Amino acid sequence: MSTEEQRLAPLRDKIDALDAKILDLLSQRAQAAQEVGHVKGGFASPIFRPERERQVVAKLQEINQGPLLPDGIAAIWREVMSACRALEARQTIAYLGPVGTFSEQAAQTYFGQSIAGLPCVSIDEVFKAVEKGAAQFGVVPVENSSEGAISRTLDLLLDAPVQISGEVVLPIRHHLLTKSGSLDGVTTVCAHAQALAQCQQWLSEHAPQLKRQAVSSNAEAARMAAADPTLAAIAGEPAQIAYSLQAVASQIQDDPHNRTRFVVIGNYVCQATGNDQTSLVLSVDNQPGAVHRLLAPLAKHGVSMNRFESRPARKGTWEYHFFIDVAGHADEEKVAKALTELQDTAAFYKKLGSYPRSSI
Ligand SMILES: O=C(O)C(=O)C[C@]1(C(=O)O)C=C[C@@H](O)C=C1
């Protein structure tokens, strides 16, 4: 045994002994979670409680003496609670598929790995899966830092009978992938239209010879590139792994801070956590100063606006719908007062949900 091995052996023995204790405690925790699940079953109440999961992590981060970092604690307990939640009842989570998409990564980032993933061919299908009860929750992209709002998601949120129960913000790292790891013989690069737009400068500078073909998702592009040596794909690491592709170039997005925000849709109304956001859709009659008057209650009651997005109204009597995110939970007094006055002023008003802010 080498000198290094001699010095590592007792430390590894110590780790093994500690791991055994941790496993015993985790097993006790899992049994307690199962009992929680039985209680919930008696009341037919929801298994997933995001506000409780935030509370669990926040308490541990508060008492943490190190050396684990807060993000490490959050990641560990996300998986601990994901596994415990699955013992209560495995949650089916719909997302824009196929496997390997950023939407799948967002679903796993939010719910952990212990979920039943339901890849859907379109954002519409994610909404349908949640509405018909085929999935408890859905994860859909709502805006990208480079390309702006995902209009289909906004249009579906307008009419769908679902709540926004959470949000996830993912850094988006696009890679140029092929089966061989080179561009020899490659004529076309495939990707979702958003990804092609987010990498257009890099493609023009480094691969202007490639034809650009938009497809339903980056993971679908990866699946195609895995089957056709004349194709390259722009996709993330999950798709690269899922379809055994090699990187020709990594992180080719034009904006190094490129990120996409996803919303979690479901029928669950989150309780306040102290770090929440409320999303709304509003419309006003087309009169001078109408939008200013519409938003006046927010300033009056000291409610901050985090986002304001206008969309042409595709039907009905109004010209625009305004998608607005405000800081705070709808149950907070100042937010509740502002929303009541907004509702009285607006020609159209829909509360999409109050939910915990993304921790990223
Ligand atoms: O406390 C609960 O409601 C539980 O179901 C337990 C638990 C956990 O593992 O701590 C698991 C799932 C919930 O989303 C929240 C917390």
Q: Within this chain, do residues 334 and 297 fall inside the same structural domain, yes or no?
A: yes
Residue 9, domain member (yes or no): no
Residue 78 Cβ contacting ligand 1 at under 6 Å: no
Of 32-41, 119-128, 286-295, where does mean pLDDT reach its minimum? 286-295
Closest CA to 96 of 224, 231, 238, 241: 238
Residue 84 Cβ contacting ligand 1 at under 6 Å: yes
Q: Within this chain, do residues 244 and 280 fall inside the same structural domain, yes or no?
A: no
Q: Within this chain, do residues 240 and 284 fall inside the same structural domain, yes or no?
A: no
Q: Within this chain, do residues 65 and 197 fall inside the same structural domain, yes or no?
A: no
Q: Within this chain, do residues 264 and 130 fall inside the same structural domain, yes or no?
A: yes
pLDDT at 24 over 70: yes
For the chain, the average pLDDT equals 94
pLDDT attached to residue 225: 97
Which ligand 1 atom is nearest residue 49's CA? 14
pLDDT at 360 over 80: no
Residue 211 Cβ contacting ligand 1 at under 6 Å: no
Query: What DSSP letter does each residue of 249-309 carry, written as one string?
Result: ES---SSTT-EEEEEEEES--PPP-SSEEEEEEEE--S-TTHHHHHHHHHHHTT--EEEEE
Residue 6, domain member (yes or no): no
pLDDT attached to residue 281: 96
pLDDT attached to residue 147: 80
pLDDT attached to residue 217: 85
Span from the CA of 81 to the centroid of ligand 1 (angstroms):
6
pLDDT attached to residue 286: 77
What's the domain count of the chain? 3
Place of tokens 């493609």: 203
Which residues fall within 8 angstroms of residue 110, CB to CB, at 6 or more apart? 139, 166, 168, 262, 264
Span from the CA of 352 to the centroid of ligand 1 (angstroms):
24
pLDDT attached to residue 318: 62
Q: Which one-letter amino acid corresponds to residue 287? A: Q
Query: Averaged over 148-158, what is the pLDDT?
Result: 93
Which ligand 1 atom is nearest residue 48's CA? 14
Closest CA to 276 of 329, 336, 352: 329
Q: Within this chain, do residues 264 and 137 fall inside the same structural domain, yes or no?
A: yes
Residue 182, domain member (yes or no): yes
pLDDT at 136 over 70: yes
Nearest residue (by CA) to ligand 1, atom 9, is 81
CA atoms within 13 A on the CB side of 119: 13
**Residue pLDDT, tens place only, 68-122:** 999 999 999 999 999 999 999 999 999 998 888 889 999 999 999 999 999 999 9
pLDDT attached to residue 335: 98
pLDDT attached to residue 317: 65
pLDDT attached to residue 77: 97
Pocket residue to mutate for ligand 1, from 31, 39, 81, 355, most atoms within 8 A of Cβ? 81
CATH number of 301's domain: 3.30.70.260
Residue 12, domain member (yes or no): no
- Using CA atoms of 59, 60, 62, 68 in order, give the dihedral in degrees to the nearest 10: -160
Query: What DSSP letter does each residue of 176-205 carry, written as one string?
Result: EEESSSS-TT--EEEEEHHHHHHTHHHHHH
Nearest residue (by CA) to ligand 1, atom 16, is 53
Q: Within this chain, do residues 184 and 157 fall inside the same structural domain, yes or no?
A: no
Q: Within this chain, do residues 244 and 345 fall inside the same structural domain, yes or no?
A: no
Last residue of a domain, one of 233, 268, 303: 268
Residues paired with 94 in a beta bridge: 118, 138
Q: Within this chain, do residues 338 and 327 fall inside the same structural domain, yes or no?
A: yes
Which ligand 1 atom is nearest residue 52's CA? 15
> Residue 185: left (phi > 0), alpha (psi -120 to 50), or beta?
left
Residue 59 Cβ contacting ligand 1 at under 6 Å: no
Instruction: Locate all alpha helices (DSSP H) within 65-150, ordered by sequence.
Output: 70-88, 102-111, 123-131
pLDDT at 312 over 90: no
Residue 20, domain member (yes or no): no
Residue 295, domain member (yes or no): yes
Residue 49 Cβ contacting ligand 1 at under 6 Å: yes
pLDDT band at 358 (very low <50, low <70, confident <90, very high): confident
Span from the CA of 168 to the centroid of ligand 1 (angstroms):
19
pLDDT attached to residue 71: 94
Q: Within this chain, do residues 71 and 88 fall inside the same structural domain, yes or no?
A: yes
pLDDT attached to residue 289: 86
Q: What domain range includes position 325?
A: 271-356
Residue 75, domain member (yes or no): yes
**Residue pLDDT, tens place only, 188-233:** 999 999 899 999 999 999 999 999 999 988 989 999 999 999 999 9
How many Å apart are CA 340 and CA 308, to the nearest integer?
A: 19
Span from the CA of 102 to the centroid of ligand 1 (angstroms):
26
Last residue of a domain, one of 194, 219, 249: 249
Which ligand 1 atom is nearest residue 88's CA? 5
Residue 221, domain member (yes or no): yes
- What percent of the chain clears pLDDT 70, i.e. is strictly above it? 98
pLDDT at 359 over 80: no
Q: Within this chain, do residues 344 and 293 fall inside the same structural domain, yes or no?
A: yes
pLDDT band at 315 (very low <50, low <70, confident <90, very high): low
Q: Within this chain, do residues 133 and 264 fall inside the same structural domain, yes or no?
A: yes
Query: Averaged over 7-14, what is the pLDDT?
Result: 97
Stated pTM of the model: 0.88
**Residue pLDDT, tens place only, 244-303:** 999 999 999 999 999 999 999 999 999 999 999 999 999 988 788 888 888 999 999 999
173 DSSP assignment: -
Span from the CA of 138 to the centroid of ligand 1 (angstroms):
19
Span from the CA of 83 to the centroid of ligand 1 (angstroms):
10
> Residue 44: left (phi > 0), alpha (psi -120 to 50), or beta?
left
- What percent of the chain clears pLDDT 90, i.e. is strictly above it? 84
pLDDT attached to residue 148: 87
Last residue of a domain, one of 183, 215, 249: 249
Residue 48 Cβ contacting ligand 1 at under 6 Å: yes
